[in-house]
Amino acid sequence: MNLLEGKNCIITGGGRGIGKATAIKFAEEGAKVVIAEFDEVTGQSTANEVGGLFVKTNVAEKRSVDSLFKTTMDAFGRIDVLVNNAGILMDGTLAKMEEDQFDRVIDVNLKGVYLCGRAAATIMKEQGAGVILNASSVVAHNGNFGQTNYVATKAGVIGMTKVWARELGKDGIRVNAVAPGFIKTDMTAQMPENIIKMMGEKVPVKRWGEPEDIANAYCFLASNEASYISGTVLNVDGGVVV
């Protein structure tokens, strides 16, 4: 039997990169997938590829998030898994980071997780079951040059994950986070080749991760095989944190 057979899953930022790989993996494992994506082109394309439902979503806006969850409930009647994957980067050193750069990353990466998590928890509490998975990052543990805003959000996500695991466990809801390391995506592909090589050499397993590596982690945590795992942060980083 497939790991996610019969489960209805929302994946935010599911149009590309890790989100798309997660959507493909979930569909392969029997899930019905909702792609919540701001980019209509990539969102609809991924939904078509996995036979899922696309809902244009801005996770930083409550009205948009409410519409996402209403549309999903109208279509499927229940929500078993939420993957809070949507996120953005707007890097800059502290002295040069503008206020709008800080605010925008906080709105998408942190407030968006809160809004989607709250909407999911309300529904899952009524069901008496559910799984919420949040995207953190290895930089949440040790910081990263030029990423005050991004690191703040990813560290905040870890904190929220632990709070929600405490609050929602009695309602049959498990909450975990995944912290990816250096992963090959369209965004990282824009980096200079020498930087990509240097960063890869820092990884104990001597390679960058693939989006599928993160998707596999999400799939396991979403499945019943992880039924006694809650409040944890799974580092998927080839040993970088070590």
Nearest Cα to 128, choosing from 184, 76, 172? 172
Per-residue CA distances from 110 to 3, 61, 145, 153 (Å) = 29, 12, 19, 5
Rounded Cα gap, residues 159 and 198, in angstroms: 31
Helix residue spans in 184-235 (DSSP H)? 193-202, 211-222
| Enzyme catalytic residues | 150
Cβ pair 9, 34 in contact under 8 A = yes
Rounded Cα gap, residues 83 and 123, in angstroms: 15
